[in-house]
Amino acid sequence: MDIPFPSLPLSVTDQMGRRVAVPLPAQRIVSLVPSQTELLFDLGLGARVVGVTKFCIHPAEARQSATIIGGTKNFDFDKIDALRPNLIIGNKEENYQAGIEQLAERYPIWMSDINTLADSLSMIRRVGLITQRKEAADALAAEIEASFVALPPVAEPVSAAYFIWRKPYMVAAGSTFIDEMLARAGFRNVFGKLDRYPEITPEQLQAAAPQQILLSSEPYPFGEKHVAEFQKICPTASIRIVDGELFNWYGSRLRHSAAYFRELRER
């Protein structure tokens, strides 16, 4: 049965400063970002989410109840068209400009732009507003904010390098959400003066001499088998596998990040 779309949408500004006419209520939502897909489900909007990416692994039912429309950087436009979305939610960094521009010609697209915890909390609240889940979103954002406020600062941060990729080696550097999460977890990013996600040579890593090397579980699936590889480069460093989702997912998964960071400090 066709769902009637309202004729008077809500005009809002997304986090990229774009004006977007969002229908109220948004009944057919396509999410192009894994962490925002999880947020939509946690706000009780799972029944309205009709399309997700192949990387939207949380919650587990997301890829079963919704249509997979490709990846975050290669959309299947025919599948999206068949879903008849009246709201698409994306992200500046995780999606690709040409694809977003093509979709924006036909559908309302609300874009997030996340570099800090404050950006994340704002995104959560604003997504709640445009999906008519304001009360739940405000409560979730307040819970996350309180958990980080309760996380005490460390007297002496531990120097660390945070790897997100292998062959080539790539790290999370300055001007990234991960960089702020590292600071909140009690680490000093040895590559914090570089920008975004640079490639790093073994020689650069040796010269930076981090006390700890953090190997993220995603997007590259680092595991215990990679520890010796990095230990050979930096024999005195402590090598740790860390939960990349708790450092890099900026939606409702942040509820668990502060507790995880506290646990990392204790270990």
Residues 24 and 128 in one domain: yes
Is 3 contained in some domain? no
pLDDT at position 5, please?
Answer: 46
Does the structure show a pLDDT above 90 at 1? Answer: no
Domain span holding position 56: 10-147
Q: pLDDT digit string (tens) for 187-236?
A: 999 999 999 999 999 999 999 999 999 999 999 999 999 999 999 999 99
The count of structural domains within the chain is: 2
Distances (CA, A) of 153 to 147, 169, 174, 178, 264: 13, 30, 19, 17, 14
Distance in angstroms (rounded) separating the CA atoms of residues 217 and 87: 31
The residue among 98, 128, 147 that closes a domain is: 147
Query: What pTM does this model have?
Result: 0.93
Is 1 contained in some domain? no
Distance in angstroms (rounded) separating the CA atoms of residues 40 and 133: 9
Residues 164 and 44 in one domain: no
Mean pLDDT of all residues belonging to the chain: 95
Residues 134 and 162 in one domain: no
The Cβ-side half-sphere exposure at 53, using a 13 Å CA radius, reads 21
Cβ atoms of residues 33 and 90 within 8 Å = yes
The residue among 121, 147, 173 that closes a domain is: 147
Residue 40: CB partners within 8 Å, gap ≥ 6? 29, 31, 46, 48, 49, 89, 127, 131
Is 92 contained in some domain? yes
Residues 16 and 142 in one domain: yes
- Binned at pLDDT 50, 70 and 90, residue 115 comes out as very high
CATH number of the domain bearing residue 164: 3.40.50.1980
Residues 18 and 136 in one domain: yes
Residues 20 and 109 in one domain: yes
pLDDT at position 8, please?
Answer: 65
Distance in angstroms (rounded) separating the CA atoms of residues 86 and 22: 8
